[in-house]
Amino acid sequence: MTQTPDTAKPGSLKSMRRLAEPLVEKLVALNGALAIIFVVLIMAFLLRDGLPVFRSVSVSKFLFGRDWYPLSDQFQTLPLILGSLAVTLGAVVIAVPVGIAAAVYLAEIAPVRVREILKPTVEVLAGIPSVVIGFIGMVVLAPWVKGAFDLPTGMTALTGSIMLAFMAMPTIISISEDAIVAVPRDYGSGALALGATSWQSIAGVTVPAAKSGIIAAVMLGIGRAIGETMTVLMVTGNAAVIPHSLLQPVRTMTATIAAEMGEVAQGTPHYFSLFAIGLVLFLMTFAINLIADLALQRTRVRR
Amino acid sequence: MRLHPMVKQRIAFAILSLSTIFVVLPVLAVVYLLLARGLPAINWTFLSQSPVHMMREGGILPAIVGTIYLIIGTTVFALPLGVMSAIYLSEYAKPGPFTRLIRLSIVNLAGVPSVVYGLFGLGLFVMLLHFGASLLSGSLTLAILTLPVVITASEEALSSVPQSFRDASLALGATKWQTTVGVVLPNAVSGIITGLILGIGRAAGETAPILFTVAAFYLRDLPHSIYDQAMALPYHLYVLSTQVPNAPPKIQWGTALVLLALVLGMNLVATTIRAKYRRARKW
């Protein structure tokens, strides 16, 4: 600390300031801890209003039972968990390869001018509200899916996966691109000097060197997809049954909370069960973010 | 058959650029569709009147006003809390487990699903604190959702102020807090505002967090106090697309366009400020 000796007379404005300083620092530190406080508070509220559901249903029934019939007090969430996983998996299958390929293109191949047009476009995609994406999915994609696969309805897991893929892509692209750009130029140049083509240098040296960052990008993309609410609520058809194919309606955990919370009375098992689903979601995204953070930490340590 | 490395390269580059086109084209198509189908709906009546006839006619004024109130409310809470938190991280925090824990919490807070924020807002603000479904509850919920963005951007802005500025101020006898408020903060203002607008822009487009904390299906009057419920653009679009049978597509597309224009407009303002500030930087 660069504290100067306090020469001010006691009681003067200057000494008041000196006295106030430690107080201010305490206040600032308290605000610094805000993020921790809110994570803990969110967790606490999910536990407080979620755990009581296990008075009416066992943990294993809640997680692995097949019947989600809130009206007859059946709170078994396997169809919802599988619904979330199915939609997310479909989104990942589309968004990961396409997103990483676009990131490699933007970072390594695209001419500066092209990149300056494409990057804002990706940012626009990131900025479109999920309810607008859901609306587009409903009126544009769903009829197309219905026609293309000759289905009774276009509101399917696949429709949700496609829309979610586009919502996860900006995350995957921008974080992967940052990771690729951060690889020291010398790595690629070394490969080129040994006679490799640019593609060999990109695929064999640069991209592998950015692996941790790309893993983090994929994890965060998955987190975004699994937590997305409005889009899946609007386009997946919301049938709480165990999904057997991507071409049938499903209902995700997020959509269930959004659709049913408005109608339940506080303190009922249904109310508690929706908080418990929130708790499961929170723990899932917490784990996903933790993995992503560890991966990013590794890239920082190495450089 | 072994391909020549240059042929392989051509194929690979073609696949990579096609993938990029696959991302970019739908975005352009969506923006085009929204403009083509939304613009015809937009006129003064649409923007300045309330919905009538079960929302199948009239305008979306209450939804626009509600969203603007939420933007203001979110700013009031997110700005001071976010900036103070960033000041701690940038100016006061020492590397160690506590700081590491804060950073980990920020990352996790950013990853919490928006509907979980809605549950939290319902549990804490609506129920426990008895704010009810109101602008106050909604703004607080959205403010917490916005915090990670505001903290991260503000911290970056604060730490990019050169150390020599601080040293000069401290050498003149200013205390650490005086230096932070009088020297570091003013030089980081544009970066902080950029982050704030980006964060609030995202929050303004969110639906799930406001579902149980503020959003109303239909209100005849505009909200009068922070304890009133409000309509909001994202929720209004959701209602128009799923809860109103035979809602005219024109009104749906118009609402979607107004929402998108608001959110992207805020993004644009933020990036413009950022670009200007980078050019005008004193160091």
CB-based contacts of B242: which residues, under 8 Å, 6+ apart? A138, A234
Instruction: Give the closest-approach CA distance of B19 to chain A in angstroms.
Output: 5
Residues in chain B: 283
* Residue of chain B minimizing CA distance to A265: B127
| Chain A touched by B265 (CB under 8 Å) | no
pLDDT at position A2 is 45
Which candidate, A268, A137, A161, places its Cα nearest to that of A225?
A161
pLDDT at position B118 is 96
Average pLDDT over residues A240-260: 93
For A157-206, how does the pLDDT look when each residue is reduced to its tens digit (9 = 90+)? 999 999 999 999 999 999 999 999 999 989 999 999 999 999 999 999 99
| Chain A touched by B135 (CB under 8 Å) | no
Q: Do B119 and A28 touch (CB under 8 A)?
A: no
The chain-wide mean pLDDT, for chain B, equals 92
Instruction: Give the closest-approach CA distance of B164 to chain A in angstroms.
Output: 14
* Residue of chain A minimizing CA distance to B113: A227
- Residue segments in chain B with a per-residue pLDDT below the cut of 70: 1, 282-283
Average pLDDT over residues A285-300: 87
CA distance B52 to B54: 6
| Chain A touched by B40 (CB under 8 Å) | no
Which candidate, A104, A128, A66, places its Cα nearest to that of A188?
A104
Instruction: Give the closest-approach CA distance of B279 to chain A in angstroms.
Output: 18
For A122-157, how does the pLDDT look when each residue is reduced to its tens digit (9 = 90+)? 989 999 999 999 999 999 999 999 999 999 999 999
B4: Cα separation from own chain's centroid? 49
Distances (CA, A) of B163 to B169, B179, B184: 10, 11, 9
Average pLDDT over residues A219-247: 93
More confident residue, B40 or A71: B40
pLDDT at position B279 is 77
pLDDT at position A1 is 42
Which residue type, as a one-letter code, is found at position A117? I
Q: What sign does the dihedral B202-B205-B208-B209 (CA atoms) show?
A: positive
For A3-43, how does the pLDDT look when each residue is reduced to its tens digit (9 = 90+)? 444 444 555 656 666 677 888 888 888 888 999 999 999 99
Nearest by CB to residue A2, choosing from B13, B170, B252, is B170
ipTM field: 0.93
Instruction: Give the closest-approach CA distance of B283 to chain A in angstroms.
Output: 24
pLDDT at position A19 is 74
More confident residue, B25 or A298: B25
Q: Kindly list the residues from chain A whose CB atom is less than 8 angstroms away from the CB atom of residue B88.
A: 28-29, 31-32
pLDDT at position B54 is 79
pLDDT at position A9 is 53
Q: Do A28 and B170 touch (CB under 8 A)?
A: no
pLDDT at position A3 is 47
Nearest by CB to residue A102, choosing from B19, B87, B88, is B19
pLDDT at position A6 is 47
